[in-house]
Amino acid sequence: MKERHIHRRFVELSGGKDADIVVIPTASELETTGPDYNRIFRDLGASVVDFLPISCRADCDNPRYLDMLDRATGIFLTGGNQLRLSTILGGTGIVQKIRRRNAAGVAVAGTSAGASIMSEHMIAGGDSNSAPVEGAVSLAPGIGLTNAVIIDQHFTERNRLGRLLAASSYNPFLIGLGIDEDTAAFIGPDGVFEVVGSGTVTVVDASGLTHSSMWDASPGQALTLLGLKVHVMGEGCRYDLVGRHAYAPDEHAAFCTLPNKKVTKN
């Protein structure tokens, strides 16, 4: 299954047979989510897998959980509700530890809500199947592993281009990433990400925006956004977040992903 191929790649980036993976299932309210991911990563060869049963902010003060993150070679945030994830983890020692471990070279991965929260600015909600209109998207703080992108997920399946365009118009500095299901963006330490999976990653680059009507649009009014650049990238494509350049699968072979950055997937 291609999704297991993505999980397997994460295990490899986390150390393969020596991987020590900590799963954070807080976004999900299902009691089975943590144990399910433990089983998946063990089946894929990880040496040690455990999960943090964090369901309220008080749980984030548990020193044992911080010790587990200290020894982890990979950290995985599951899907669910991104606002549940941000309101429980935001501003806690758990998030501070995740940021420090990632900066030190530990792979951090997330699926669905766990992908959305990785950036400094997070899409908290909004309209699917909509044109870009004022009010189409709501934003909230993420955990800040990167300040270069804003991430949306289940992208093609739920027709979320309109809300990603609206989100990009709020701050043209940000690069919008729309990630399809069964698809991942593996971001390396050089700021280059590679697409893996059966779907696509849509990149919205608003840095060349020449006109935006967002600032004076009325609620629900369609937006005018001129000068946007959009890339639709399948498996093997790479994108340089620093230089803002897309590469076909057979180009730019010198770039590779290394196990000390973010992985965002669905």
Residue 235 falls in the annotated catalytic set = no
Cβ atoms within 10 A of the Cβ of 251, count?
13
Terminal Cα distance for the chain, rounded: 14
In whole angstroms, what is the distance from residue 252 CA to residue 237 CA? 10
State yes or no: pLDDT of 259 exceeds 80.
no
CA-wise closest residue to 128 among 88, 155, 89: 155
Among 6-10, 64-68, 251-255, the minimum mean pLDDT is found in 251-255
The reply to whether CATH 1.10.287.70 applies to domain 1-111 is no
**Which position has the higher pLDDT, 54 or 2?**
54
CATH 3.40.50.880 placement within the chain: 1-111, 118-258
In whole angstroms, what is the distance from residue 178 CA to residue 185 CA? 10
Average pLDDT across the chain, whole number: 92
- The catalytic position among 14, 134, 181, 212 is 181
User: For residue 207, what is the DSSP state?
Assistant: T
State yes or no: pLDDT of 31 exceeds 80.
yes
Residue-level pLDDT at 266 = 66
In angstroms and rounded to an integer, the radius of gyration of the C-alpha atoms of the chain is 18
In whole angstroms, what is the distance from residue 195 CA to residue 63 CA? 36
**Buried/exposed 197-219: b ≥16 CB within 10 Å, e otherwise:** bebbbbbbbbeebeebbbeebee
- The catalytic position among 7, 130, 154, 168 is 154
Residue-level pLDDT at 203 = 98
- In the three-class reduction of DSSP (H, G, I as helix; E, B as strand; rest coil), residue 12 is classed as helix
Beta-bridge partners for 150: 176
CATH topology of domain 118-258: Rossmann fold (3.40.50)
This prediction has a pTM of 0.90
Q: Of how many residues is the chain composed? A: 266
- Residue-wise pLDDT tens digits, 42-75: 999 999 999 999 999 999 999 999 999 999 999 9
- Residue 209 in contact with residue 172, Cβ under 8 Å? yes
State yes or no: pLDDT of 95 exceeds 60.
yes
- The catalytic position among 112, 130, 169, 212 is 112
Would you state the torsion angle of the CA atoms of residues 89, 90, 95, 96, taken in this order, to the nearest 10 degrees? -140
- Residue-wise pLDDT tens digits, 150-173: 999 999 999 999 999 999 999 899
Residue 154 falls in the annotated catalytic set = yes
- In the three-class reduction of DSSP (H, G, I as helix; E, B as strand; rest coil), residue 262 is classed as strand
Q: How far is CA 91 from CA 98, 109, 147, in A?
A: 11, 19, 16
Residue 181 falls in the annotated catalytic set = yes
Confidence bin at 256 (pLDDT 50/70/90): very low
State yes or no: pLDDT of 250 exceeds 90.
no
- In the three-class reduction of DSSP (H, G, I as helix; E, B as strand; rest coil), residue 123 is classed as strand
Token couple for 248:
């076909």
